[in-house]
Amino acid sequence: MQFKSNFFHHSSTSLLIKPFYSSFFCTKSLTINTTKPFILKQCIALLQSCASSTYKLRQIHAFSIKHGVPLNNPDFAKHFIFFAVSISGKMLYAQKVFDQVHSPNIFTWNTMIKGYASSENPRPAIDLYNEMRRKRVDSDTHTYPFLLKAISKLLDVCAGEKVHCDVLKNGYGSLVFVQNGLVHMYAVCGKPESAQKVFEEMSVRNLVTWNSVINGFALNGRPDEVLAFFKDMSDEGVEPDGFTMVSLLCACAELGALALGSRVHDYMFKVGLTENLHTVNALLDFYAKCGRVREAKKVFDDMKERSVVSWTSLIVGLAVNGVGNEALELFKKMKMEGLMPTEITLVGVLYACSHCGMVDEGFVYFNEMREKYGIVPKIEHYGCMVDLLSRAGKVRRATEFIQNMPLNPNAIIWRTLLGACSIHGDLALAETSRAKLLELDPKHCGDYVLLSNLYASESRWTEVHQLRATMAKEGVRKTPGFSLVELRNRVYEFVMGDRSHPQDEEIYLMLSEITKLLRLEGYVPHTKNVLADIQEEEKETALSYHSEKIAIAFMLVNTLPRTPITVIKNLRVCSDCHLAIKLISKIFDREIVVRDRSRFHHFRHGSCSCRDYW
C-alpha cells in the first residue's frame, strides 16, 4: 500500500475508531481474529453506516489500511469511492483514492465521472472518459448520462458531438436516458435543432424528454417552438410538471401571451404547483414582463416563501414598468428582511433609477455596491450608469464616465451612448461613438439605424445614403420591426405595411379611421426621423403603417370596447407612434400596454406611464 497521510497515524486512529466500531465487533479490542473476507464485509457495512460524515469515512479508510484490506480490491474500491464521492463531494480526496486502484471497474469509473459532473469543475469528467477509452475500458449504460451532464455544464458542444458518435458506435443510441442526456446537452449548448433531431428519432419519450426539448427552445429564445411542443405534449397525454411550467411561462413572457400564461397559472393552482418556489418565481416574472404589475405584486404577496430571485424579479418588473419609486421601496424592504442583494439585484435597482430619471439616487446605490455590500461593479452595472446619464440627456457626462471606467467599455455601452446622442441630437459625440463601435462590433445593424436617424433629423440625406450603401456593401441587414398581439390564445405578428392578414381590409379601414380621429385631436405626425428623402405626405403615410399601429387596429377590430390591449414590439417605439398611441388610448377609451425593446409604456387617457421619458 502506497497511500499515506498524516491523519492515518495508527496510534491516534485506534483511539478514534474504537467507540465508533464497538457496535459492529463483539471483541474487546481492535485485534480481530477473523479472515479478510469478513473484515472486507465489515468495512463495507461501516461505509454504508457512516451517513454524511467525511471524518468517519477517513476513519474507515485508516481501519482498512491497518487491517490489510487493499484499495485495489475491486469490491472494496467501488464502495469506498462511491461513498467518498457521495458523502464528501470533495473530488480531490476521491481522486487520491481512485489513483491507488490498479484496475478500477466500470462502476468505479462511472462514480468518478458522476462526482465530477456534479461538482463545480466538471472538466475532469471528460478527461476520465478519455482515459477510459485509452485503457480500453468499455463504457456501460450509466456512463453517458453522467458524462453528458458534465458536458452540458461546460457548454462544450464539440465534446458533446464526439460523445454522441461514441454513443451510436457503442450501441447505446436507443436508450431513453442516454437520448434524454443528448437532448439536454444540445439544448443548453445552443443547438435546439440538434436537440429536436434527437427528440424526433426517439421511439420512447418520457416527461424528462419533453422538458428537455421545450427548455432548449425556451433557453434559445424560440418561444413559438416552445408553445408548439407543449401542444404536442398535451396531445400525447403527457402531464406537465414544474419544469415544464417554468419553460412555458418563459415563452409566454417572451411572446406576451397573457391569456395562455394565465391558463398556466390556473393549472398550477389546480395541481398544487403554486407552492413550488421556482415555478412561482417564473409566474411572477411572466406577469411583470406582460406589463401586469398588479398581478405580479399579488403573486409576490401570496408567496409563503421568497428567495432573493423573487425580490429581484419584482424589483426589475416594477422598474421596467415605470414605477421606479416602488422598486426602490421594495429594495429597502428586502434589506429589512435581512436578505443580501446580489449583483443581479443591484442591476435591477440601477435599472429602476435609470428608467425613472433618478440620477443622484443611482450614483448613491452604485457607490454603495462596493462600500456596503462588497460587490465589485461589473460591466452590466457600468452599463446601467451610462444608460442612467444618457436617458437624462447628460451625454457629455456619460462620455466622461465611460472614459474613467476601470473596465474596457464594450459595444453595448458605446451603443447606449450612440442611442442617447441620436435622441438628444449630439452629432459629434454620435460619430465618436460610432467610430468605437466600428472597432468592436462593425456589422451591428442597429448602429447604422441610430446614426441614420440622426442624419435624417438634420436632413443630411447624403450621409443617410452613404450609410445605406455601406450597409449593402458589408452585407448588413436592418432588423425588421414587428409587433405581437395575442387574441383567443393565438399570437399574431405584424410588420410595417403588413397586408398578409385575412382581415386586411377591416384593419386598414380601422387605420384610416384612426388617422382621421387623430387629426381631430390635433395630432401632427413626427416625420423628421423617416429615413428617406421623400415628400412629407409620403412620410406621413409610411408612419401610419408602422407595425404597432397595425397591431392596435387589429385588436380594435376584434375586441370588445374598453378591453385592454397589449403589444410586444421588438424595437424601440418611435416618437410618432408614442404620440399617436397616447391619443388612441384617449379616443377609444382603452388601456394600451406596449413593451418595446427596453421598457413598458402604459397608455391611459391620453398619457403614458413613462412621462415621455424613454
Query: CA Rg, the chain, in Å?
Result: 31
Which helix (H) or strand (E) covers residue 483, if one does?
Answer: strand 482-487
Instruction: Name residue 604's beta-bridge partners.
Output: 607
Compute the distance between CA of residue 353 and CA of residue 363 in angstroms, rounded to an integer. Answer: 9
pLDDT at 17: 40
**Residue 312 class from Cβ within 10 Å (0-12 exposed, 13-18 middle, 19+ buried)?**
buried
- Indicate if the pLDDT at residue 395 is higher than 80: yes
Mean pLDDT confidence for 262-279:
89
Tens-digit pLDDT profile for residues 533-588: 434 444 455 667 889 999 999 999 999 999 999 999 988 888 889 999 999 999 99
Mean pLDDT confidence for 350-375:
90
Contact 590, 562 (CB under 8 A): yes
- Sheet containing strand 600-604, strands side by side: 490-495, 482-487, 565-569, 592-595, 600-604, 607-608
Tens-digit pLDDT profile for residues 10-27: 333 333 344 433 333 333
pLDDT at 441: 85
DSSP 7: G
pLDDT at 14: 38
pLDDT at 610: 82
Mean pLDDT confidence for 340-366:
90
Contact 447, 456 (CB under 8 A): no
Mean pLDDT confidence for 413-437:
85
* DSSP of 300-369: HHH-SS--HHHHHHHHHHHHHTT-HHHHHHHHHHHHHTTPPP-HHHHHHHHHHHHHTT-HHHHHHHHHHH
First and final C-alpha spacing in the chain: 72
pLDDT at 366: 95
Grid coordinates representing 560? 370588445
Compute the distance between CA of residue 281 and CA of residue 299 in angstroms, rounded to an integer. Answer: 9
pTM of the model: 0.71
Compute the distance between CA of residue 533 and CA of residue 545 in angstroms, rounded to an integer. Answer: 18
Tens-digit pLDDT profile for residues 303-325: 988 999 999 999 989 988 888 88
Compute the distance between CA of residue 113 and CA of residue 118 in angstroms, rounded to an integer. Answer: 9
> 97: Cβ–Cβ under 8 A, 6 or more apart, which residues?
3, 61, 71, 77, 80, 81, 84
pLDDT at 19: 40
Tens-digit pLDDT profile for residues 102-156: 788 898 899 889 989 988 889 999 999 999 999 999 999 899 999 999 999 999 9
Grid coordinates representing 242? 414544474
Q: Quick one: how far is CA 579 from the chain centroid?
A: 33
Compute the distance between CA of residue 204 and CA of residue 496 in angstroms, rounded to an integer. Answer: 44
pLDDT category at 36 given cuts 50, 70, 90 is low
Highest mean pLDDT among 344-358, 376-390, 490-504: 376-390
> 482: Cβ–Cβ under 8 A, 6 or more apart, which residues?
493, 494, 495, 547, 569, 570
Mean pLDDT confidence for 586-598:
91
Which helix (H) or strand (E) covers residue 569, if one does?
Answer: strand 565-569
pLDDT category at 408 given cuts 50, 70, 90 is very high
Contact 43, 111 (CB under 8 A): no
Mean pLDDT confidence for 493-504:
88
Contact 352, 288 (CB under 8 A): no
Lowest mean pLDDT among 384-398, 456-470, 532-546: 532-546
Region class of 403: left (phi > 0), else alpha (psi between -120 and 50), else beta: alpha
- Indicate if the pLDDT at residue 68 is higher than 80: no
Task: Name the amino acid, one letter, at 336.
Answer: M
CA distances from 216 to 177, 212, 223, 238, 436 (A): 17, 6, 10, 18, 35
Q: 3-state class of 494 per DSSP? A: strand
Grid coordinates representing 544? 401610419
Mean pLDDT confidence for 265-270:
90
- Indicate if the pLDDT at residue 52 is higher than 80: no
Cβ atoms within 10 Å of 523's Cβ, excluding its own: 18
Decide which of 598 and 114 is more confident.
114
Decide which of 64 and 236 is more confident.
236
pLDDT category at 265 given cuts 50, 70, 90 is very high
